[in-house]
Amino acid sequence: MKTAMKRHTADSFSSFLLLLIFSIFTLLLSGTGAAVYKNSAAKLDENYTSRTAVAYVSEKLRQHDTAGAVSLTEVEGCSALALLEDVSGERFVTYIYFYDGALRELFMRASSQPSAALGTAIVELADFTVEQTDAMLHVSAVSPDGNEHSILLHVDS
């Protein structure tokens, strides 16, 4: 009877030990998975702002890429892209510029005077530049975390 009791105790102990080991590995695996997810989400966030800004500007440039429609200008001392278009016979301009820590867009009549503070914030950035050489525009955006993305675009304007 004592051997049956010892065997039952040993079986219970080994079952408990197996359950304990399984629980520990489950917690370790969950912790590792959470850390990987957190790191991936942080990397996606870092890249989101600068990539979004560059993609947004390149799409706007492609939409307005006709002769004389794209130019570089200034809005209250801020370097800006000016995108001209005709809407129902009236001239409008879309200004895209960096002001107060954000990429901004301002759509207004071409005859009106732009104000940098009136633009709609598109995405937060640390810096944004547009440089023109010949028929090429170099668009560069730096996220608040310091990630930089840039693109070189050919424009007909």
**What whole-number distance in Å separates Cα of residue 35 and Cα of residue 84?**
48
Nearest to 25 by CA among 13, 33, 15, 37: 33
pTM > 0.85: yes or no: no
The share of the chain scoring above pLDDT 70, in percent, equals: 92
Whole-number pLDDT of residue 118: 93
**What whole-number distance in Å separates Cα of residue 110 and Cα of residue 80?**
14
Spatial neighbors of 10 by CB under 8 A, at least 6 apart, are none
118 and 103 in contact (C-beta within 8 Å)?
no
- For residue 150, list its beta bridge partners: 140
- Per the prediction, the chain carries an average pLDDT of 87
Low-confidence ranges of the chain (pLDDT < 50): none
Whole-number pLDDT of residue 7: 65
98 and 79 in contact (C-beta within 8 Å)?
yes
